[in-house]
Structure 1
Amino acid sequence: MTLKRQLLIGISAVFLLVFVGLIAAGIQSTRSYLEQQLGSHAQDAASSLSYPLSQSLGKGDAGLASIQVSTLFDRGYFQRITVRATDGSSIVDRELPAKIEGVPLWFSSLISLQAPPGEALVSSGWRQLGRVVVISQPTYAYQHLWSSCLETAGWMLLAYVVAILLSRMVLRWILLPLSAIERTALEIQERRFGQIGIVPKALELLRVVKAMNGMSRRIAEILDGETRRADAFRREAYQDEVTGLDNRRSFDLRFNQLLEGDVHFSDGSLIGLEVNNLKEFNTETSYQRGNALLVSLTRIASELLGQRAVILGRIGGTSFGFVVLGLDTPGISGLCRELRAEIERAAGEEDVSFSLGVVNFNKGDKRSQVMARLDLAIETARQSGRNALQLLIEDEGSDVSIGSLAWRELIQNALTENRWTLLGQPVVSLETRHLIHHEIMTRLVGKDGHLVPASKFLPMALRHHLMADIDQALLELVFRILEADATSTTHLAVNMSTQSLESGSFVKWLAGRLNRLGPLAARLSFELTEYGCSIDVEATRRFAALVREHQARFGIDHFGLAPNSLQILREVPPDYIKLDTGLVQEVPVSDSAHSLLKSIVTLARSLEVEVIAQGVENADQVEQLINDKIAGGQGYHFGAPSADQINS
């Protein structure tokens, strides 16, 4: 047998073993999961059926019991439903043969799925009337198992074809000197070649095999590699090299997102830290000690501010900016005094001084104006003396000048009188321009009939913990739209507040309401902002599971700017992500931002996550996004928010 054939057989054998192993393991785990799901489905059905049966059988009405069983059985999700009396006699017995559609007969014969029965007692008071037994129909389980096998086989076949092609390239060099063969094998190693199971005794061929086996170890690292690559681009574009904090570009983008985007907040504060004589300190000592000091200040700020700080950035050579949400004036004042004391303790060991300035900001403020006020606060602190702190807290703007309690009363009245209106903005497929969904936005209707933008009342709603009530009122309107036109195929996407997710009563209400909505829930998508997901990952994971349980979709809004974006994507994979407007607008002017976007798309596609771009304003952006393989787009290029979008 020729050496070429031996190598090809070795590669084929390894891939065959891997293929069989993956298929076997996948079938076993998937079958076990599906059987558990079938059993759970049957048990849920039996439990839900036991109560109405207890009412009908308790009155001796076997006809009504038969109708109750038929109502559930005729949906087609069950193979058999039996109601037996306590003596074992059959009261109601409905049965269908096991249906297996869309799956080859040999596959269903080779791999059997056992649908465990679900049982529940039927009783009236203390008197047992019988037992209901339910067996689920395994049709969908077989179809899912078959499609999973086909998908795995397809990927393995593609990997095998690539491996064979690369092998032929290597074999061209077999008759060349052994050093050239080894060098070629090492080059192919960077191409992530497959595993060779044969270990030749010849030293020359052993080197080739070892090199190619090294390549196989890279295949398992593809997903992790994409994550690391995307994170590297993010660090290159948006992270300060010395401190690891956001650089000025990232700080500006994320701060703009807070001020102008859909992320709502209350009591925003910007803390500025300026190290006054760092340049002289570096000259007298060394840049290494200066960098060490900056790292120390970074650590102190990170530990003290913790999760209160949504943005930690180095905005200049000696300047830092920290954005804190949710603290009123006394709270931010106390926190900054504590920060000043900790920094003074650390800086006291070195011959440096600093100035701290603090300003407040509100939704809709201009970043340039907020930063100008921060510069004034820092300069005032510098003029006040060494290591001084200056708070420059302004009264809230005219839009909220009616006062916090008045805002609370206004929102509560709107909730009582149901004075809300909905707007919708289309999200479309970039290539086909087909509608993906409408993103729903809410407006409060004032007593004078004027619409109050969400950016005005939501910060006050957050302050007074009214978001769960507002989200419930919003969802009721959305549910009515779905129920009013049950035949429509239009999908609606709704943004949720993390404050609502923290409310147990809201989550319980939502679960019950989605259950009542039934199949119409499949036309819904629920979105959380990237910042909201990062606040409580476990709560986000539970919420995603809840909406998917009812066939609704889960998406992450304003994605891509936070340092932990990729971690969130891996920990809680959504059905889709919406890239933040700031990142999308950075792509044409920043190669590193473009590289980050492409890496996010690659990682998302490997996780089967749809990518949608926000802030699409012109046809040139659309063309660029299509080239970057982004699926959908949202922005004024496709339509402005309008009530007509959801009422048409």
Structure 2
Amino acid sequence: MTLRQQFSLLTSALVIVLLAGSLLLTVKNGRDGFQQQLNARAYDAATSLALSMSGVEELDPVELSRQIDALFDRGFFADITFTGVGGNEIHRRARQALSEAPAPQWFMTKVTFDMLPAETDVMVGWQQLGTVRVSSHTDFAYRDMWNMVKAEAIWFALVLLVTLVLLHMLLGWLFKPVIRVEQQALAICERDWQIQENIPRARELRRMVLAMNKMVSKLHALFTEQSATTERLRQESFHDAATGLLNRRGFDQRLEHVLQGTDEHSGVLMLLQVEHFAEYNQREGRQAGDDVIQLVAQSLQQWHLEYQNSVCGRHAGADFALYAPCASRGHADELLQSAFGQLATTALNQRTGLNFHLGGVFLQGDQDVLGSALSRADAALRQAQRHSHARAILYQEDRASQPELTGGQWSALLKSVLQNNHLSLQFMPVIKARGDARELLQLEVYSRIERDGQSMSAARFWPMVEQHQMAAAFDISVIRKVMLMLQNEPLKSNARICINLSPASVIDNAFHQDLVQLIRQYPQQAHFLALEVPEYCVRNAEAELVRLAGIVRPFGVVLGIDQVGTGTVAFSYMKRLPLEYVRIDGSLNRGLHLAQDQRFFIQSMIQIGHKLDLLVLGEGVEVEADVDELGQSGIDGISGYYYSRPFGSLAGVEQWLEESDS
């Protein structure tokens, strides 16, 4: 029961008690007044009748009856009796004075009159001739009293009704600040820092609202300060101060995570070097050299905007590195030439007088070594540098590989997968970080397709999915397949199944409509669904993410952010978006036990997430030392090869959990 309802009930009870008490007093006083009046009327009537009878000669019975009837016919008396000295009587009695009942029977039973008959002697001189006894009738008293009670009850009911209405309005006005404080507190939980502008005049309420506003301001300031500190730490640890790109440590860490990740990798690594930059720096001055470096960085950032899932970094001096996912050598060469063209027409065009070269290597497989990948890319760069003019060369692999598909063949393959539903799924368990038993929090979904009997991970075919604008269709296909699996193999736990959406799907209205239709088709399974997007998607699609969350949240579907800590977007998006969880990128979790500054950065991100009531998860963990560090940092859940490899079915996950517990 709310405080407002308690106030209303208490005040209503008080008013009812006061009105009921007033009504009871009115009835009691009215009864006493009517009783006194009736007894006085009976006494006066008896005295008057006795005087009248004393003048009757020889007490003529006819005349006496006539006088008694004259008084009795008025209807105010219930009994009139004359008793002579000789014992003869003349009496008149009436059961009721009115044709209808004067009041309800229950009222007459509860309210009773103590009527005393009035007696007066009939005297002639000093001689007593008889006695007259008169009793008043109560019908008129009951009638008048019942009418009075009804009038007062109606008046009291009106007063009570008006009082309750006015009380409701008054409490509504008084409790507006309290309701706004409640909304303010709930808004804090939703990561919305509201300040009340309308300050109430009542001193107690005013102090409460001002205290709440002060607390909100303090919380917002603390969050902003910690977020800014974490942002600054990220910039200092993983980004180059002059260009804003990743520094060598940050780039190598991201690349190593891709190469050693839990899924297959497929992409192109590119190394850029500006020729004779040291001589240019000495000849033109340090400032001119810095300007060139910044122009190159701006060009690479423009190229990165076109390929948002790519990674750009500065290794040292005028040496830069790039990595972008791709599906084949042909696609890798296209990306290499695209980056070359971007630089050749902007920062390093012929008018600058600076020559540059670009070397790349196509990387594909289950696992690869960072040093080997950089060595092959460097070999391609040296081969390009043998030419006097700017050149971009892709490293030629010696080993034989499967024949590559053309663009048309890729399109046919992907369409066939969609039409024939040949998409297969794998599930990576996310385990609760604290607790002895392995408790399942989530399942990350990995998708695969078949080509000539060989399984291909999303890292290999997804770049072609996006290039052929099929991302929304594939995302819907994955979600539909998950729904069907949940329908056929219900999970015993309440774990969420997390599906990573492409940025192209997030901004696609048709995808939103198809998603709602699919969720309505499987309403029970939708409660186990979580949709997540990579952090770099937030910068250009924040409004669409808010709209998507508004569409799916009523059905029990939640939203999360993946690859947290790798983007350049400020962490303040966590309080603006209606999120359920965030997942820290695996590149930041690898080697965590060896890097003090990296541990502090992870702890700061976890604290930010927890202050916003978000679930914070970590992925890509393979060694126990990193698991221990993440657990001590307060993370909620962890996934990676340390626990298991992905499973091909939900039943396989359930069986693995049962075996782990036993």
| TM bucket, shorter chain | 0.5 to 0.7
CA distance in 1, matches of 2:170, 2:637: 42
Question: Tell me, what secondary structure is at the counterpart of 2:244?
Answer: coil
User: Contact 1:274 / 1:354 at 8 angstroms: preserved in 2?
Assistant: yes
**Greater alpha carbon shift after TM alignment, 432-441 vs 257-266:** 257-266
What amino acid maps onto 1:467 in structure 2?
Answer: A
User: Contact 2:432 / 2:636 at 8 angstroms: preserved in 1?
Assistant: yes
Structure 2 CA distance for partners of 1:640 and 1:304, relative to 1, 3 Å: closer
CA distance in 2, matches of 1:261, 1:619: 16
Structure 2 CA distance for partners of 1:514 and 1:490, relative to 1, 3 Å: same
Structure 2 CA distance for partners of 1:229 and 1:469, relative to 1, 3 Å: same
Q: How many residues align?
A: 454
Please tell me whether residue 537 in structure 1 is matched to residue 542 in structure 2.
Answer: yes
2:627 corresponds to which of 603, 622, 628: 622
CA distance in 2, matches of 1:301, 1:347: 19
Structure 2 CA distance for partners of 1:223 and 1:149, relative to 1, 3 Å: closer
**Greater alpha carbon shift after TM alignment, 451-460 vs 624-633:** 451-460
User: Contact 2:262 / 2:620 at 8 angstroms: preserved in 1?
Assistant: no
Question: Tell me, what secondary structure is at the counterpart of 2:590?
Answer: helix
Please tell me whether residue 337 in structure 1 is matched to residue 341 in structure 2.
Answer: yes
Q: Which residue of 1 aligns with 2:227?
A: 227
1:461 corresponds to which of 461, 465, 484: 465
Question: Tell me, what secondary structure is at the counterpart of 2:522?
Answer: helix
Please tell me whether residue 239 in structure 1 is matched to residue 239 in structure 2.
Answer: yes
2:589 corresponds to which of 572, 584, 587: 584
User: Contact 1:527 / 1:557 at 8 angstroms: preserved in 2?
Assistant: yes
User: Contact 2:245 / 2:312 at 8 angstroms: preserved in 1?
Assistant: yes
Structure 2 CA distance for partners of 1:111 and 1:425, relative to 1, 3 Å: farther
Question: Tell me, what secondary structure is at the counterpart of 2:630?
Answer: helix
1:641 corresponds to which of 638, 642, 646: 646
**Greater alpha carbon shift after TM alignment, 474-483 vs 286-295:** 286-295
Q: Which residue of 2 aligns with 1:509?
A: 514
List runs of 5+ in structure 2 lacking aligned partners.
1-166, 192-209, 655-662
What amino acid maps onto 1:254 in structure 2?
Answer: R
Kindly state the Cα deviation for residue 453 of structure 1 after the two structures are TM-superposed: 3.4
* 1:33-71 CA distance string (max 9 Å, x none): xxxxxxxxxxxxxxxxxxxxxxxxxxxxxxxxxxxxxxx
CA distance in 1, matches of 2:218, 2:467: 50
Q: Which residue of 1 aligns with 2:254?
A: 254
Q: Which residue of 2 aligns with 1:293?
A: 292
CA distance in 1, matches of 2:577, 2:433: 25
Kindly state the Cα deviation for residue 511 of structure 1 after the two structures are TM-superposed: 0.7
Kindly state the Cα deviation for residue 452 of structure 1 after the two structures are TM-superposed: 4.0
Q: Which residue of 2 aligns with 1:390?
A: 392
CA distance in 2, matches of 1:358, 1:341: 19
Please tell me whether residue 422 in structure 1 is matched to residue 425 in structure 2.
Answer: yes
CA distance in 2, matches of 1:361, 1:388: 23
Structure 2 CA distance for partners of 1:511 and 1:556, relative to 1, 3 Å: same
CA distance in 1, matches of 2:560, 2:448: 22
Structure 2 CA distance for partners of 1:404 and 1:500, relative to 1, 3 Å: same
* 1:329-355 CA distance string (max 9 Å, x none): 457535523522433458737xx5543
User: Contact 1:269 / 1:359 at 8 angstroms: preserved in 2?
Assistant: yes
Question: Tell me, what secondary structure is at the counterpart of 2:527?
Answer: helix
Kindly state the Cα deviation for residue 365 of structure 1 after the two structures are TM-superposed: 7.3
Please tell me whether residue 490 in structure 1 is matched to residue 494 in structure 2.
Answer: yes
Question: Tell me, what secondary structure is at the counterpart of 1:343?
Answer: coil
User: Contact 1:547 / 1:553 at 8 angstroms: preserved in 2?
Assistant: yes
What amino acid maps onto 2:390 in structure 1?
Answer: A
Structure 2 CA distance for partners of 1:623 and 1:308, relative to 1, 3 Å: closer
Q: Which residue of 2 aligns with 1:63?
A: none
Kindly state the Cα deviation for residue 584 of structure 1 after the two structures are TM-superposed: 0.7
What amino acid maps onto 2:472 in structure 1?
Answer: A
Please tell me whether residue 313 in structure 1 is matched to residue 313 in structure 2.
Answer: yes
Question: Tell me, what secondary structure is at the counterpart of 1:431?
Answer: coil
* 1:380-430 CA distance string (max 9 Å, x none): 333211x52233265898356354444443443333333343322221211
Structure 2 CA distance for partners of 1:355 and 1:235, relative to 1, 3 Å: same
CA distance in 2, matches of 1:243, 1:346: 22
CA distance in 1, matches of 2:650, 2:533: 22
**Greater alpha carbon shift after TM alignment, 426-435 vs 290-299:** 290-299
Q: Which residue of 2 aligns with 1:409?
A: 412
Kindly state the Cα deviation for residue 304 of structure 1 after the two structures are TM-superposed: 5.9
Question: Tell me, what secondary structure is at the counterpart of 1:611?
Answer: strand
Question: Tell me, what secondary structure is at the counterpart of 1:384?
Answer: coil
Q: Which residue of 1 aligns with 2:567?
A: 562
Kindly state the Cα deviation for residue 319 of structure 1 after the two structures are TM-superposed: 0.4
Structure 2 CA distance for partners of 1:527 and 1:536, relative to 1, 3 Å: same
Kindly state the Cα deviation for residue 630 of structure 1 after the two structures are TM-superposed: 0.7
- Give the alignment of 1:334-373 within 5 angstroms: 336-345=340-349, 348=352, 353-362=355-364, 366=368, 367-373=370-376
Question: Tell me, what secondary structure is at the counterpart of 1:315?
Answer: strand
Kindly state the Cα deviation for residue 356 of structure 1 after the two structures are TM-superposed: 3.6
Structure 2 CA distance for partners of 1:339 and 1:149, relative to 1, 3 Å: closer
CA distance in 1, matches of 2:619, 2:579: 17
- What TM-score do you get using the length of structure 2 for normalisation? 0.59
Structure 2 CA distance for partners of 1:602 and 1:615, relative to 1, 3 Å: same
CA distance in 2, matches of 1:490, 1:217: 36
2:614 corresponds to which of 601, 609, 624: 609
**Greater alpha carbon shift after TM alignment, 243-252 vs 486-495:** 486-495
User: Contact 2:526 / 2:557 at 8 angstroms: preserved in 1?
Assistant: yes
CA distance in 2, matches of 1:579, 1:407: 32
Q: Which residue of 2 aligns with 1:442?
A: 447
RMSD: 4.2
What amino acid maps onto 2:548 in structure 1?
Answer: F
User: Contact 1:574 / 1:609 at 8 angstroms: preserved in 2?
Assistant: yes
Kindly state the Cα deviation for residue 323 of structure 1 after the two structures are TM-superposed: 3.6
Question: Tell me, what secondary structure is at the counterpart of 2:301?
Answer: helix
Kindly state the Cα deviation for residue 364 of structure 1 after the two structures are TM-superposed: 5.2
CA distance in 2, matches of 1:330, 1:216: 52
CA distance in 2, matches of 1:372, 1:225: 42
Q: Which residue of 1 aligns with 2:658?
A: none
CA distance in 1, matches of 2:357, 2:608: 42
Kindly state the Cα deviation for residue 277 of structure 1 after the two structures are TM-superposed: 2.7
Kindly state the Cα deviation for residue 485 of structure 1 after the two structures are TM-superposed: 5.7
Kindly state the Cα deviation for residue 443 of structure 1 after the two structures are TM-superposed: 3.2
Structure 2 CA distance for partners of 1:143 and 1:107, relative to 1, 3 Å: farther
Q: Which residue of 1 aligns with 2:276?
A: 277
Kindly state the Cα deviation for residue 233 of structure 1 after the two structures are TM-superposed: 0.9
CA distance in 2, matches of 1:485, 1:644: 9
CA distance in 1, matches of 2:299, 2:334: 21
CA distance in 1, matches of 2:262, 2:505: 16
User: Contact 1:501 / 1:543 at 8 angstroms: preserved in 2?
Assistant: yes
Structure 2 CA distance for partners of 1:340 and 1:545, relative to 1, 3 Å: same
CA distance in 2, matches of 1:611, 1:107: 45
Kindly state the Cα deviation for residue 219 of structure 1 after the two structures are TM-superposed: 5.9
What amino acid maps onto 2:228 in structure 1?
Answer: R
- What TM-score do you get using the length of structure 1 for normalisation? 0.60
List runs of 5+ in structure 1 lacking aligned partners.
1-105, 115-141, 156-196, 198-213
Q: Which structure: larger Rg?
A: 2
Please tell me whether residue 574 in structure 1 is matched to residue 567 in structure 2.
Answer: no
What amino acid maps onto 2:464 in structure 1?
Answer: M
Structure 2 CA distance for partners of 1:523 and 1:145, relative to 1, 3 Å: farther
User: Contact 2:377 / 2:395 at 8 angstroms: preserved in 1?
Assistant: no
User: Contact 2:337 / 2:392 at 8 angstroms: preserved in 1?
Assistant: no
What amino acid maps onto 1:552 in structure 2?
Answer: V
User: Contact 1:429 / 1:633 at 8 angstroms: preserved in 2?
Assistant: yes
